[in-house]
Amino acid sequence: MQFRPDSDARGTWTLHEPAANTAAVVTLAAVEDEHHVIDEILFSFNATPVSSITIAEDGTDVIVLDLVLEGAGHIPLRRPYISAKNVAVVITIAAPGADSTAKLAVHSR
């Protein structure tokens, strides 16, 4: 049976704005008998970074992408990212280096 997320669910934004040269992390805690559905990931850097973004489920990397452009960006999801049931999902932007600051916003339901 295929899981279909509730398209009417409102969802929430989770934001992390750490200090310079610090990883930006959003953690979606495991919920019993539930999936996490991620609709959109936004990020920005105040200077050109040397960084990457990782989506991990229960400690296992699922998606890893390099991030190398200054300014705002997003991860284009053609369909929502749907986690396995009963797992935590952690979205991390690695520390971008020197005086660079990263911001991370994740919309999930």
| Residues found in the chain | 109
Right CATH for 13-108 from 2.170.140, 2.60.120, 2.40.50, 3.40.50:
2.60.120
Q: Report the 10 Å Cβ neighbour count for 52.
A: 14
Token output for 69:
């452009």
SS3 content of the chain, % helix, strand, coil (to 5): 0, 50, 50
The partner residues of 56 in beta bridges, in order of sequence, read 61, 90
Residue 78 DSSP symbol: S
* pTM exceeds cut of 0.75: yes
pLDDT in tens, the chain (109 residues): 455 666 566 899 999 999 999 999 999 999 999 999 999 999 999 998 889 999 999 999 999 999 988 899 998 788 999 999 999 999 999 999 888 899 999 999 9
Res 48: pLDDT: 87
Res 2: pLDDT: 56
